[in-house]
Amino acid sequence: MTQVERKVTLISHTQVAEKFYDGFDRYVHAYEGNDYDDLGITDAQALALTAIRTCYSPGKPSEIVAKEGARYFKKKATDGGEGTDADRLIRMIVSSGHTSTLEGITFNFAVEGVSRALLAQLTRHRVGFSFSVQSQRYVKFGSNDRSGGFDYVMPETVSAHNAGSIRFNQIMDEIQSYYDELREIGIPAEDARAVLPQASACNLVLSVNLRSLLDFYGKRRKGNGAQAEIAGLCEDLRKAVVDVEPWTDAFFEEAGK
């Protein structure tokens, strides 16, 4: 049994298929400067432009980036804002509420060492989210099992309180002994888990699209009344996304207002 800390790792994110941008070759000469590799854009930006312009132009989705990429990604934002004119276009679409155009941009995370209390809050966000969660039914958390007992998360207010943190650890030890006792007398793991606390840690794979993640961030970020643990998860998810899609940072900032 161990006190653990949260860890978030980006597993995968939106990637444009080879066949999609291989098809651009026939447009290179007719639309000079639109070579996909020369635009300096991410796959998610390519998808965003494709989705947005499909809604507002007669162009075919398979041709939009090839024909219009340089127009948007090589020109400075015409609204005087940061970035390219593609950033300006996405800002305009998001501010208008047409955020379905961001739903195709998806991210998959390995989330480790979060409490069951956080999990209960997280799964209230169902639209655009999916979860594959470590099972307390099939994974055995006895002291002598491969897990070595259940791990747990200590809330910040408890860890900052000397007497409180000492007593909290003692309580976790007591609960572990209760679980072990039930298992020793033949109670199956799926029923013995009933004594495990909300502080017990779990791991999960979290999948979410950008629209839903921005909505989640706006509701659960630090300073908006959210509990510290899930507010911290918000920032971890934001950082992981911005690391691979830097253009999204402005939208997290806006969602947090």
Per-residue pLDDT tens digits for 206-231:
999 999 999 999 999 998 899 999 99
In this prediction, residues 159-182 reach a mean pLDDT of: 97
On the question of pLDDT at 35 being above 90, the answer is no
Identify the top-confidence range among 25-29, 71-75, 113-117, 245-249: 113-117
* 253 or 150: which leads in pLDDT: 150
With 0-12 / 13-18 / 19 or more C-beta atoms within 10 angstroms meaning exposed / middle / buried, residue 84 is buried
CA 65 to chain centre: 26
Using CA atoms, how far apart are residues 57 and 78, in angstroms rounded to an integer?
19
> pTM of the predicted model, to two decimals?
0.91
Rounded-to-integer distance, Cα 202 and Cα 51, Å: 36
Q: What is the mean pLDDT of residues 87-91?
A: 92
Given a cut of 90, is residue 12 above it in pLDDT?
yes
* Per-residue confidence (pLDDT) for residue 51, from 0 to 100: 95
8 Å CB contact between 227 and 219: no
C-alpha–C-alpha distance, residues 40 and 100, integer Å: 24
Please list the active-site residues.
Answer: 220
Nearest Cα neighbor of 212 from 255, 183, 166 is 255
Work out the burial of residue 251: count CB atoms within 10 Å of its CB; fewer than 13 is exposed, 13-18 middle, 19 or more buried: buried
Task: In whole angstroms, give the CA distance from residue 103 to residue 101.
Answer: 6
pLDDT tens per residue, range 104-149 = 999 999 999 999 999 999 999 989 999 999 999 999 999 999 999 9
Structure tokens at 209: 């699209």
pLDDT category of residue 30 using cuts at 50, 70 and 90? very low
- How far is C-alpha 139 from the chain's CA centre? 25
Quickly state the pLDDT bin for 82 (edges 50, 70, 90): confident
Nearest to 46 by CA among 34, 58, 57: 34
Residue 28 pLDDT exceeds 70: no
pLDDT greater than 50 at residue 58: yes
Mean pLDDT over residues 78-99, rounded?
A: 90
